[in-house]
Amino acid sequence: MYFDEKKLKDILVSPGHISIEHFNEALNEAKEHGVSIEEILVSEDLIKDEQLGQLLAQITGFPFVNLRNEAFDEAHFEMIPELVARRMGVVAFGRSEDGVKVGMIEPGDIETRHAIEKRMGENIVPYFITKRDLKGVLSRYKASLYEEFEKILEELKNPSLPQEERDKMTIKVVDTLLAYGYQNKASDIHIEPHRGKILIRFRIDGIMHDVLEIPNNLLDLILTRIKIMSRMRTDEHRAAQDGKFRFEVDSSGSVDVRVSVVPVVEGENIVLRLLSAANRQFNLSDIGLNDSDLSKVQEAIDNPHGMILVTGPTGSGKTTTIYAVLRILNTREVHISTIEDPVEYDIEGISQIQVDKKTNLMFADGLRAIVRQDPDIIMVGEIRDKETADIATNSAMTGHLVLSTLHANDAATSLPRLLDMDIEPFLIASTINVIIAQRLVRKICQGCRKSANLSSEEIEMVKRNDVAMNLLLAKGAGNLDKLVIFKGSGCKICGSTGYIGRIGVFEVLLMRGNIKQLVIDRASSDEILKIAKENGMTTMVEDGIGKVLNGVTTIEEVLRVTKG
């Protein structure tokens, strides 16, 4: 964070923490050495790091935490990969009622906060930390490959290094790079000649991070090594080449790597895609779809045209579900285009357009432009108005597979909602394949989960919900007091909240013939719900109760998110 001179003076000199002479000396020295004045003040012992941190935190308006005094545990620490911590200046160190406590050198940086929240899938509570503190904490990451990497590069600089050693070192450079990428859950490693250097960048959770710059003279060595590994022609420098290899990771198995080398002005660009890492993210069963719902969704996805709708209120995890489906559909054979507001994750191989209010590129216009390019699959971020709904249903009608989200309470109410947008009933009936409705519930912490009986408050809650009560009575042999469920009793890992992370509860409505008829007859959502249940749909409450009985979440969570 950049603290301007005047603000620093206001908090340091005016209240008398530091004399103006010392301040000015430190300022000059900082300019001379190209470091921050905070660094100088602490290293010259003009102020204690802790006190300075407290004062700087006042400028940022966020609470200060001294990480060296904080007894934080590995479980939180590991939530953020080392590279992200290093590049973004963030450290997860605990948990409170409101979310994961994250120390940040720039707690006011909304973009970074957003990126971290996306990675964790839950709220964060930002604290201010000093750069010194961050540095100290980074060394706690187990065997930092970053330092290992720097050590190898240092050795390679030695001009008297025998060729045999040099070759060994190059192999080590590539291996370390792959291991470092894997450790940080990178989906892609980019090696690019850039302004006389080689720039190495990782894509993690869809975001590109500059990792390091290495000397240009290593490019040929690295290129040759990677070309040999992926069985490419080493003497070809003017044509693009594709290849692949398998990389062994110590104890955790192997990773398939897809390699693309493309000639550019300054040499050749290398992109390594770590396949298992990319596939690890956003799996449909990871987000909470049970087996029977999963097979229904799979059935709908296998249809090459029609529409897949995900519904729920804001913050119910709709986008994550849509991306999970897109990842399944994203094969080389199909052309996928999206129009989103905003583009939340970059997916390689997909053309993604962002809604732009400034140039007035809205969903409807973007969608029109996309349709002209004749993609096989189209994702529209959200259907908000009749115009967008019209183009979406017409595209689905003319042989495209369309994915979108809709703001509706549950699966059954989505259909009358589309009718309200003046879409022809027969169009809705003939295009929609499946509607997935969802909510997010908090997951019980595995660190402190234990079996329990329902409390009297919970029994009261259950009694107000017929569906939940009947399901639980069936399980509890007619007696709610005897029912065994699970709870987090609270521990260090979950910050005494009993919960960690979130998972979806779902209902999946397949458009069978009798449902289509109801749409054409403009039936009410109650009638649609009744028939859908007869067809075998389990509602969100039912799916949620299943997750309660399996010890995934609590009755309180399920009733909270599904009410109203």
Binding residues for Zn ion, rule: CB under 5 A, are: 445, 447-448, 488, 491, 493-494
Which is closer to Zn ion, CB of 76 or CB of 400? 76
Smallest gap from Cβ 343 to Zn ion, in A, equals 35
Sign of CA dihedral 543, 548, 554, 555: positive
Amino acid at 45: D
Which CB sits closer to Zn ion, 88 or 494?
494
Q: C-beta of 488: minimal distance to Zn ion in Å?
A: 5
Min dist CB 487 to Zn ion, Å, is 10
Contact in structure between 256 and 189 (CB atoms under 8 Å): no
Antiparallel, parallel or unpaired: β 197-204 and 207-215 = antiparallel
Answer yes or no: are the C-beta atoms of 466 and 541 closer than 8 Å: no
Report, in Å, the least distance between residue 441 CB and Zn ion.
16
Of 124 and 428, the one with the shorter C-beta distance to Zn ion is 124
Identity of the residue, 267 or 447, whose beta carbon is nearer to Zn ion in the bound complex: 447
Name the minimum Å distance from CB 502 to Zn ion. Answer: 15
Rounded Cα distance, 381 and 344, in Å: 10
68 neighbors 133 (Cβ within 8 angstroms) = yes
User: CB 122 → Zn ion: shortest distance, Å?
Assistant: 14
* Smallest separation, CB 445 to Zn ion (Å): 3
C-alpha 32/C-alpha 26 separation (Å) is 10
Cβ within 8 Å of residue 452, ≥6 positions away: 484, 485, 486, 487
Q: Which residue's CB is nearer to Zn ion, number 493 or number 561?
A: 493
Query: Least Å distance between CB 498 and Zn ion?
Result: 6
Which CB sits closer to Zn ion, 491 or 561? 491
- Least distance to Zn ion, CB of residue 459, Å: 24
CB of 500 to Zn ion, least distance (A): 7
Q: Which is nearer to Zn ion, 193 or 488 (CB)?
A: 488
The edge-to-edge listing of strands for the beta sheet with 197-204 is 207-215, 197-204, 186-194, 267-274, 253-264, 241-249
Considering the complex, what minimum distance in angstroms separates the CB of residue 550 from Zn ion? 18
**Residue 558 · residue 547 · CB < 8 Å:** yes
Complex with Zn ion: residue 209 or 487, whichever CB lies closer: 487
- Look at residues 95, 237, 258, 228 and name the one whose alpha carbon lies nearest to residue 167: 228
User: Rounded to whole angstroms, how far apart are CA atoms 326 and 344?
Assistant: 13
- Does residue 315 come out as left (phi exceeding 0), alpha (psi in the -120 to 50 range) or beta? left
**Strand intervals (E) in 445-559:** 449-453, 484-488, 499-510
Q: What's the closest the beta carbon of residue 383 comes to Zn ion, in angstroms?
A: 40
> 90, 84 in Cβ contact below 8 A?
yes
Nearest to 417 by CA among 432, 402, 403, 395: 432
- The terminus-to-terminus CA distance of the chain in angstroms comes to 44
- In whole angstroms, the minimum distance from the beta carbon of 95 to Zn ion comes to 9
| Residues 6 or more apart in contact with residue 408 via CB below 8 angstroms | 311, 312, 414, 417, 437
Identity at 218, one-letter amino acid code? L
Q: Which is nearer to Zn ion, 193 or 498 (CB)?
A: 498
Alpha-carbon span 471 to 489, nearest angstrom: 25
Q: Which is nearer to Zn ion, 92 or 347 (CB)?
A: 92
Length of the chain: 564
Rounded alpha-carbon distances, angstroms, from residue 536 to 264, 292, 507, 527, 532: 56, 10, 11, 15, 7
DSSP secondary structure code for residue 316 in this structure: S
* Residue with Cβ nearer Zn ion (94 or 107): 94
Instruction: Please name the residue ranges forming H helices in 121-218.
Output: 131-138, 145-156, 163-183
CA dist 123 and 131 (Å) reads 23
Which residue do the tokens 């003046």 mark?
422
Question: Cβ closer to Zn ion: 120 or 427?
Answer: 120
Could you give the angle at which helices 163-183 and 219-229 cross, rounded to 10 degrees? 70
Q: For residues 245 and 486, which CB has a smaller minimum distance to Zn ion in the complex?
A: 486
